[in-house]
């Protein structure tokens, strides 16, 4: 037994036959645990288990004295394979520790991938050259000299192309933007969806613009997403010179506030320009919403200006709002108000026709209506805002009323939004008071309709796990 233990091959054989399986089992468990956590180091452990450790075991066995006659070629081959695997494992481990585990926003996180790839490539070449020099006795000095001369020649031939690429890489390394940011340069405004060493891809809404990074590096651009204040969409509008500026400014702000996609962190603002012009500034949730918001604002402003008797673009004509159409509307709602047609015509002194565009808010929670609007054409959605969003209660149509709480002078709990272009007949509350005094049945009908809407509200809220607070029984 002592003779066997003293043999030079005994302990290497024990290490390989016993230590190798244990090491493989340990590496397998480590890889499985890292894979379950989603660690990016798991492939490195897998490479060590599947390749490096088995080759190391073979190298231990064939490197023993007497295993090969003379110098032997196979030990050198196995040593070369082992050296290559060591180089790959070490370089991947360093790359993981330095770059993959970098903190968000640190210089390692911003380091361009192309730079790290080039550094790895250089280290692999140097490692292979040193490995062949050490194992095979190769003369690597000539190889390095040839590589140096070749790199100089290629660099001179491609200096313009390489210069633009390098300038773009330095721009990426500086990281003045990141994926998802909105930038504006010249006539191009878009969202960054991809960044690589050669170009930046911008989603401009109707396609993708591929812009070389060197073009951005050599010029100027604006990062719309890096402003401390929300990005604001701006547009100028003109009104008639007789329109009071204070009323115009208030109208512009009110219309802007009700548009979806507007930032809640800052209120819209208006600046008065020369020649009865006003520039509105609308803060947005995202710079990409600019075109959508301005389109919705311009559309709604046309309707709101007509309702406020202001003259957008100096237009003083309104061929829709005519006395004849008003009389037809009064005849339409006369039965609802329990009025005879001739009595309804007397309301024309104070009643008025109004139009709303799709999406406009007619009634909002907490508002005390000063008039009741009867729908002549179009549809309205009544809903209640909750923490989970707007819960739809019912849909109103022709001859239905919006603003039932006007008579009671109480706040409503509902939000009314036009689902289509809407035509309404607006009757001020003082006019409704006179009608109710003359026809008490109208008051009972209004109360009955309000109670019906409250029941619908309770059912709609219960369907989504919400409930109507006690005492909140006044609906629009």
Computed over its alpha carbons, how large is the radius of gyration of the chain?
A: 39
Mean predicted confidence (pLDDT) in 55-74: 68
- Please provide the average confidence, as pLDDT, over all residues in the chain: 81
Query: What is the C-alpha separation between 196 and 182, in angstroms, rounded?
Result: 17
Same domain for 212 and 241, yes or no, is no
Mean predicted confidence (pLDDT) in 61-81: 69
Q: Is 23 within the bounds of a domain?
A: yes
Q: What is the pTM of this model?
A: 0.65
Mean predicted confidence (pLDDT) in 128-144: 74
Same domain for 145 and 243, yes or no, is no
pLDDT at 283: 92
Q: Is 476 within the bounds of a domain?
A: no
Neighbours of 89 (CB within 10 A): 16
| Block residue for tokens 């993959």 | 100
pLDDT at 20: 78
Q: What is the number of structural domains in the chain?
A: 4
Token pair belonging to 83? 């050296």
Structural domain boundaries, residue 356: 346-463
Query: What is the C-alpha separation between 243 and 252, in angstroms, rounded?
Result: 13
User: Minimum mean pLDDT among 272-281, 335-344, 398-407: which range?
Assistant: 335-344
User: Minimum mean pLDDT among 61-75, 86-100, 283-297: which range?
Assistant: 61-75
Query: What is the C-alpha separation between 332 and 329, in angstroms, rounded?
Result: 5
* Higher pLDDT pick, 306 / 102: 306
Given a cut of 60, whether residue 63 has pLDDT beyond it is yes
Query: What is the C-alpha separation between 461 and 476, in angstroms, rounded?
Result: 16
Query: What is the C-alpha separation between 21 and 8, in angstroms, rounded?
Result: 21
pLDDT at 299: 94
Same domain for 194 and 268, yes or no, is no
Same domain for 7 and 156, yes or no, is yes
Same domain for 25 and 153, yes or no, is yes
Same domain for 184 and 252, yes or no, is no
Token pair belonging to 459? 């059912």
pLDDT at 75: 77
Same domain for 49 and 73, yes or no, is yes
- 348-371 pLDDT per residue, tens: 888 999 999 999 999 988 888 889
Query: What is the C-alpha separation between 208 and 313, in angstroms, rounded?
Result: 36
Q: 258, 280, 307 — which closes off a domain?
A: 307
Q: Is 266 within the bounds of a domain?
A: yes
What does the angle CA 425 – CA 430 – CA 436 come to, to the nearest 5 degrees?
A: 85
Query: What is the C-alpha separation between 85 and 81, in angstroms, rounded?
Result: 6
* Higher pLDDT pick, 216 / 152: 216
Query: What is the C-alpha separation between 277 and 236, in angstroms, rounded?
Result: 7
* Higher pLDDT pick, 163 / 382: 382
Mean predicted confidence (pLDDT) in 173-194: 81
How far CA 60 is from CA of 16, 65, 127, 152, in Å, comes to 8, 11, 22, 43
pLDDT at 359: 92
Q: Which of 415, 313, 403 is nearest to 361 (CA)?
A: 415
What does the angle CA 398 – CA 402 – CA 406 come to, to the nearest 5 degrees?
A: 145
Domain harbouring 246, CATH code = 3.30.70.100
| Block residue for tokens 């490195």 | 44
- 251-300 pLDDT per residue, tens: 999 999 989 888 888 889 999 998 889 999 999 988 888 889 999 999 99
Same domain for 10 and 143, yes or no, is yes
Among 42-56, 115-129, 409-423, 459-473, name the most confident range: 409-423
Secondary structure letter of residue 314 according to DSSP: T
Q: Is 413 within the bounds of a domain?
A: yes
Q: Which of 307, 453, 437, 426 is nearest to 372 (CA)?
A: 426
- Residues paired with 238 in a beta bridge: 277
Q: Is 320 within the bounds of a domain?
A: no
Q: 259, 289, 307 — which closes off a domain?
A: 307
pLDDT at 356: 96
Given a cut of 90, whether residue 10 has pLDDT beyond it is no
Given a cut of 80, whether residue 155 has pLDDT beyond it is no
Q: Is 147 within the bounds of a domain?
A: yes
Domain harbouring 193, CATH code = 2.30.30.60
Same domain for 48 and 131, yes or no, is yes
């Amino acid at each position: 037994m002592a003779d066997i233990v003293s043999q030079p091959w005994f302990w290497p054989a024990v290490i390989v036959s016993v230590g190798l399986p244990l090491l493989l089992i340990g590496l397998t468990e480590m890889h499985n645990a890292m894979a379950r956590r989603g660690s990016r180091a798991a492939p490195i452990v897998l490479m060590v288990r599947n390749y490096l450790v088995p080759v190391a075991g073979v190298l231990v066995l064939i490197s023993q004295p007497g295993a090969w006659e003379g110098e032997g070629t196979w030990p050198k081959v196995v040593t070369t394979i082992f050296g290559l695997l060591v180089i790959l494992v070490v370089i991947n481990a360093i790359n993981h520790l330095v770059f993959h585990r970098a903190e968000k926003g640190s210089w390692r996180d911003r380091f361009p991938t192309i730079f790290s790839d080039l550094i790895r490539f250089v280290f692999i070449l140097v490692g292979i050259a040193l490995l062949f020099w050490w194992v095979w006795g190769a003369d690597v000095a000539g190889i390095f000299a040839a590589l140096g001369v070749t790199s100089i020649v290629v660099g001179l031939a491609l200096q313009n192309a390489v210069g633009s690429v390098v300038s773009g890489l330095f721009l990426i390394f500086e990281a003045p933007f990141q994926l998802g940011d909105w930038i504006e340069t010249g006539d191009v405004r878009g969202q960054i969806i991809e960044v690589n060493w050669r170009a930046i891809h911008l989603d401009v809404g109707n396609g993708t613009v591929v812009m070389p990074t060197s073009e951005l590096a050599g010029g100027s651009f604006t990062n719309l997403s890096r402003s401390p204040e929300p990005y604001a969409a701006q547009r100028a509008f003109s009104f008639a010179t007789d329109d009071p500026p204070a009323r115009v400014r208030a109208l512009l702000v009110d219309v802007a506030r009700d548009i979806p996609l507007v930032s809640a962190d800052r209120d819209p603002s208006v600046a008065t320009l020369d020649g009865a012009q006003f520039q509105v500034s609308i803060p947005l949730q995202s710079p990409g919403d600019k075109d959508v918001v301005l389109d919705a604002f311009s559309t709604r402003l046309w309707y709101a200006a007509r309702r406020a008797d202001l003259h957008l673009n100096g237009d003083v004509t309104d061929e829709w709002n005519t006395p004849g159409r008003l009389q037809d509307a009064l005849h339409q709602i006369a039965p609802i108000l329990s009025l005879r047609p001739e009595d309804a015509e007397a309301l024309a002194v104070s009643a008025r026709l109004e139009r709303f565009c799709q999406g406009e808010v007619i009634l909002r929670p907490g508002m005390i209506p000063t008039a009741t609007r009867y729908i002549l054409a179009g549809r309205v959605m009544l809903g209640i805002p909750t923490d989970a969003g707007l819960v739809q209660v019912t849909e109103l149509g022709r001859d239905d009323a919006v603003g039932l709480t006007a008579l009671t002078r109480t706040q409503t709990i509902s939000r009314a939004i036009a689902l289509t272009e809407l035509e309404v007949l607006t009757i001020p509350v003082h006019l409704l008071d006179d009608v109710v005094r003359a026809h008490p049945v109208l008051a009972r009908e209004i109360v009955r309709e309000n109670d019906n809407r409250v029941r619908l509200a309770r059912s709609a809220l219960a369907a989504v796990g919400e409930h109507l607070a006690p005492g909140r029984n006044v609906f629009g």
